[in-house]
Amino acid sequence: MEVFIISTFSSKYFGWLASLLVVLAAGWFLLPTGYVTLVEWLAPVMGNYVRPTFVMVNILVVNQLGNLLMVAIWIIAGLVGGIMSGTKKGGILIAFLTWFSCIGIGIFCLIQFLLPVMEGTITLSLPPIPPGTSLADVLSIPLVQSFVSDLPGLLASMAGGGSGPDVVGLVMSVAVYVLSPLIIAIIAGIVGAILRPKEEF
């Protein structure tokens, strides 16, 4: 019985580690060109946490229709967690822990990213855009493209009726983007558990 409990725990633990590693490694090495441009532009001023912060933003804020690469990465991570866990509950748990771990890492990176500004140790004067890059690269970021596509509706709500911007709609859109990785990973985790059921003792 003790061996079974240890085996169950270890499968979930290593499944979580593997799933988290998939997301972080893929997010780091497959960072979109627009984010890379921002990193090269801002890192000399903002410090070493620029790239980790943008990596976590790209990982966590996912437009499921506009960022298919991150959707695929979260599917793979969910499948890995579900397969290693071998149970549907384990796949769901690993998916949640992976997503929640990314939230924690993202908050830490964001704080470290903003800390020099809050402490006043750096100025907000930006260096010139690095050679070979342009603002067009920034516009290619999936999240920026999503914002640009939503901008006309936001401006229309501000101009029409004098009721101001649709803040609730904007917050809901961001919430959907943030929750999308979790939902995708949970579904993939369940599928992964079905593909490789856990052995029965």
Mean of all residue pLDDT scores within the chain: 82
CA gap 192, 82 in Å, rounded: 4
Query: Does 17 score more than 80 pLDDT?
Result: yes
**Would you give the DSSP letter of residue 140?**
T
Tell me what pLDDT residue 88 has.
Answer: 92
Quickly list H helices, the chain: 2-29, 33-46, 50-60, 68-85, 88-119, 135-139, 142-159, 167-195
Tell me what pLDDT residue 47 has.
Answer: 82
**Would you give the DSSP letter of residue 47?**
-
Query: Does 105 score more than 70 pLDDT?
Result: yes
Task: Output b/e per residue, 65-102; b: 16+ Cβ within 10 A.
Answer: ebbeebbebbbbbbbbbbbbbbbbebbbbbbbbbbebb
Quickly state the pLDDT bin for 1 (edges 50, 70, 90). very low
Scan for tokens 């924690």, then name that residue: 104
Tell me what pLDDT residue 59 has.
Answer: 95
Query: Does 37 score more than 50 pLDDT?
Result: yes
CA gap 41, 31 in Å, rounded: 15
Q: Evaluate the CA torsion angle 43, 55, 32, 172 in order and state its sign.
A: negative
Domain boundaries, the chain: 2-195
Tell me what pLDDT residue 141 has.
Answer: 81
Q: What average pLDDT does this structure show over 174-181?
A: 88
Q: What average pLDDT does this structure show over 154-167?
A: 55
pTM over 0.85: no
- With the CA atoms of 176, 113, 149 and 168 taken in that order, what torsion angle do they form, in degrees rounded to the nearest 10? 50
Quickly state the pLDDT bin for 14 (edges 50, 70, 90). very high
Query: Does 165 score more than 70 pLDDT?
Result: no
Which of 17, 24, 11 minimizes the C-alpha distance to 56?
24
The alpha-carbon radius of gyration of the chain (Å, integer) is 20
Which of 196, 200, 193, 6 minimizes the C-alpha distance to 92?
193
Tokens of 107: 């908050």
Which of 85, 50, 61, 54 minimizes the C-alpha distance to 194?
85
